[in-house]
Every structure is written in C-alpha cells, then in structure tokens.
Amino acid sequence: MNYLEERAKSMAEQPVYPPSQSYSGNNAYYEGACEPAGYTPSYATCLHKIRALERDGSLEFPACQAAIQGGSCMAVGMRKREEDAGRALYYWDRKRMLALNDVMFESAMRAAGAPNRPPRLKQEPKSDARQPTGPTERGFAAAINNAMKDLEQTHAVATSQSAKQEIQPAAGLSLMEIARLRMKTNHQKEIA
C-alpha cells in the first residue's frame, strides 16, 4: 500500500471545497520538504504566511518572506492553481488523514507479523466520564491518548491531595495577580 497513492484516493473521495477551505486548521495536507523553511510545513501554514505577508508587508520568517517574494515558494503556485480551478486542490480533511494513518499502521503491523493491537499491560475497567463516546481509536493516537489519561489521573490524585492546602485568591485580584499567587504556592510546594 503506497501512502501517497492512498492519500490521493482519500482526497479524491472528499466533497468539492472552495479554495478558502485550504486555509482551514483542519487541513492536513503536506506537500514535502520546503528548502527555504528547512522543514515540511502544512499547506495551510504556508497560506497563512502568504496572507500575512500580503497584509502586513513583512514576515517574522525571513526565509519564507524571501521565497514568497522571490517566487520560489511552492505554496504560492499551489494557491494560484486552486484559485484558477475554483476549488481546493490541496485540502485533506484531518479525520481522513488520521483514518488512513490507522489503516497504514495496522497494515504494517500485520506485514511485520505482529498482532492487530499490542496487549495492554493491565486492563482495568475505568469509569471515567471523559472516555470517548465516538468511534474507537486505534494505533498511535490511542496509545498517546491512553498515556495522557493515565498521566492526568496521576496528576489529579496528587492535585486533590494538595488542593486542601492551596491558597484561594481573594476577590478583586487581576488574572495576573491570581496567576502569580498560584505560581508562588506551587513553587513553595515543590520546595517542600
């Protein structure tokens, strides 16, 4: 299974969107390594940089500014092709990307002879109201989310034990004063 071919197929199955959809934070389209930037930015990020340069006349990213103004930024050409086509050519819905990543992961695991899902070290039923009610997560996303839940539960226990000792801010304090008070309290707890 070729990832780029599967990505193209997934994108072709999407509804037709206007070019403005490519600016969405939900756009998971990445074109490839960008020499001026020195990494692989998302297309949506590039579009926002182009728009900011047009609006403000300068960018905080000198390499990107030089590439956009010099005509070597690939996103400028991509945006032009979308405008000419009258539709988003470089938009890939993040949910579709995550679904494809899960399929690719499971396919790679099967090819390696691994079981579909790695067994958990300990399985305890959790009555956590924050558990997802939608489709079951798989792959890397599930592993990361489960680790975060365990970390949150550990932190919640430690926090609830020390919450009784926490100083409650007095009415009339600004948000900055409340934050400073909490930082001071947390720092004192760390020292103790």
Looking at every residue in the chain, the average pLDDT score rounds to 80
pLDDT for residue 112: 83
pLDDT above 60 for 132: no
More confident residue, 10 or 132: 10
Percent of the chain topping pLDDT 70: 64
pLDDT at 149: 73
More confident residue, 99 or 120: 99
Q: What is the mean pLDDT of residues 159-172?
A: 54
pLDDT of residue 134 exceeding 50: no
Report field, pTM of the whole predicted structure over 0.75: no
pLDDT, one tens digit per residue, over 150-162 is 666 665 655 555 5
DSSP string computed for the chain: --HHHHHHHHHHTSPP--GGGGGSTTB--B---BTTTTB--BHHHHHHHHHHHHHHS--S-HHHHHHHHHT--HHHHHHHHHHHHTS-SS--BHHHHHHHHHHHHHHHHHHTT--SSPPPS-------TTS--SSPP-HHHHHHHHHHHHHHHHHHHHHHHHHTTPPPPPTT--HHHHHHHHHHHHHHHHH-
